[in-house]
Amino acid sequence: MGLTYRRKIRVIPGLLDLNLGKKSHSWTLKLGPIHRTWSSTGRTTDSVDLPGPFGYRRSRTRRDA
């Protein structure tokens, strides 16, 4: 089993997080139940936390032309 590295740094608690991994990093902006994450790999993820077991997540990958 390989080793992993993950670290979350709360830049502005409750609003902006920096997530560090072994090969990439990402920024997460939180506005209440709505989150948007930008990754160094080019992926953008939108998510909404709904009450109970419900939630919504949509990921998009940037395409360089």
- The Cα 48–Cα 3 span in angstroms is 30
How does pLDDT run along the chain (65 residues), one tens digit per residue?
678 889 999 999 999 999 999 999 999 999 999 999 999 999 999 999 888 888 888 888 876 54
- Contact status, residue 22 vs residue 4, Cβ threshold 8 Å: yes
The pair phi, psi for residue 9, each rounded to 5°, is -115, 120
Residue 1, domain member (yes or no): no
Please name the residues in contact with 48: beta carbons below 8 A apart, sequence gap of 6 or more.
33, 34, 35, 55, 56, 57
What does the pLDDT read at residue 44? 93
Which pTM was predicted? 0.77
pLDDT at 65: 47
Number of domains in the chain: 1
